Amino acid sequence: MKRRTKEEWFDIINNQKNSGLSIKNYCIKNNISTCNFYKYKKLLINNNSNTDSCDNQFLPVQVCDYNDKVIFTLDGHTIECNTKDLKLILGGLI
């Protein structure tokens, strides 16, 4: 199997984001190991992010009284869920 450079993995990760395919389907279509995909995605995110600027910061969360919904936005993505599912979502992020 071919060994890819970090630059190639960076391109693969960006291509998957732009493809509209799930990671699993993208990897199957392009004959890429999903384990390696996640490994390099994590590696590149850790190397390309400035962790000093992100530590101990709070993200804005809007809790609405209507319809028992919680809405939060991160990097331009909005996530809405009911309060019952919030524990599951937050548990998955930890």
Each residue's pLDDT, cut to its tens digit, for the chain (94 residues) gives: 578 888 899 999 999 999 999 999 999 999 999 999 999 988 887 766 554 455 556 666 666 555 677 777 777 777 777 777 777 767 777 6
How many other C-beta atoms can be found within 10 angstroms of the C-beta atom of residue 4?
14
Structure token digits, residue 39: 């490994």
Confirm if 42 and 35 have CB atoms less than 8 A apart: no
- Quick one: which of 40, 46, 31, 49 has its CA closest to 10? 40
Helix (H, G, I), strand (E, B) or coil at 56: coil
pTM exceeding the 0.85 threshold for the entire prediction: no
Can you give the pLDDT at residue 59? 65
